[in-house]
A = this chain, B = another copy of it.
Amino acid sequence: MSYTIDFQPVGRRGSCPEGGTLLDAARALGVDLASVCGGYGTCGSCKVQIVAGQVSPVGPREEGELSAAELAQGYRLACLAEPLSDCTVHVPPESLTALQRTQVEGLEVEVEIEPSVVRYAVHMAKPTLKDLRSDDERLLEAAGPDAVLTDLEVARLASTELRQMGWQGHVTQRDREIVHVAPHGAPWLGLAVDIGTTKIAAYIVDLATGQTRVARGAMNPQIAYGEDVVARLVYANKGSDEAAQMQARLTDGLNQVVEEACAEIGAQSTDIVDAVVVGNTAIHHLLLRLPVGQLAAAPYVPAVRGAVDIKARDIGLQLAPGAYVYLLPNIAGYVGADHVAMLLATGLAEREDTVLAIDIGTNTEICLTHQGQMASLSCASGPAFEGAHIKFGMRAAPGAIERVRIADHHIEYKTIGDQPPVGLCGSGILDVVAELRRTKVLDASGRLVGPGIRQIEGEREVVIAGEGEAANGRAITVTQKDIREIQLAKGAIRSGIEALLRDAGITAGDLDQVIIAGAFGTYIDVESANRIGLLPSLPLERVSQVGNAAGMGARLAVISLAHRLQAQAVAQRVRYIELARSPQFARNYAEAMRFPNA
Contacts and interface: CB of A to CB of B under 8 A. Distances in A.
Interface stretch (A26-34, A307-315, A377-385, A398-406): A307-315
What size tier do the contact residues of chain A reach? 35 or more
Given A129-B578, A134-B306, 10 more contacts: A129-B298, A134-B330, A135-B294, A136-B306, A140-B306, A149-B306, A152-B308, A156-B289, A159-B304, A163-B294
A152 B291 contact: no
Contact of A137 (B135, B150, B156, B305): B305
A302 B135 CA distance: 6
Nearest to A133: B301
A174 to B, nearest CB: 14
A134 B301 contact: yes
A556 to B, nearest CB: 23
A515 interface: no
A290 interface: yes
A303 interface: yes
Contact of A301 (B135, B140, B290, B302): B135
Contacts of A121: none
The copy count of this chain in the complex is 2
Given A160-B291, A288-B152, A314-B152, A578 B132 contact: yes
Interface string A295-327: 000111111111011100011000000000000
A581 B128 CA distance: 12
Nearest to A288: B152
B132 A306 contact: no
Nearest to A127: B301
B129 A290 contact: no
Interface in A139-177: 140, 149-150, 152, 155-156, 158-160, 163
A270 to B, nearest CB: 15
Given A135-B304, A136-B304, A291-B160, A299 B129 contact: yes
A225 interface: no
A155 B290 contact: yes
A233 interface: no
Contact of A290 (B156, B291, B314): B156
Nearest to A306: B136
Contacts of A299: 127-129, 131-132
A134 B314 contact: no
Of A137, A140, A159, A289, most buried by chain B (CB within 10 Å of CB) is: A159
A175 to B, nearest CB: 13
27 contacts: A128-B299, A129-B298, A129-B299, A129-B581, A133-B301, A134-B303, A134-B304, A134-B306, A134-B332, A135-B294, A135-B304, A136-B303, A136-B306, A140-B306, A149-B306, A150-B310, A152-B310, A152-B314, A152-B315, A155-B290, A155-B303, A155-B304, A156-B289, A159-B290, A159-B291, A159-B304, A163-B294
A576 interface: yes
A233 to B, nearest CB: 13
Interface in A25-51: none
Interface string A550-593: 00000000000000000000000000101001000000000000
Of A132, A134, A291, most buried by chain B (CB within 10 Å of CB) is: A134
A27 to B, nearest CB: 21
A354 B315 CA distance: 53
Contacts of A301: 127, 132-135
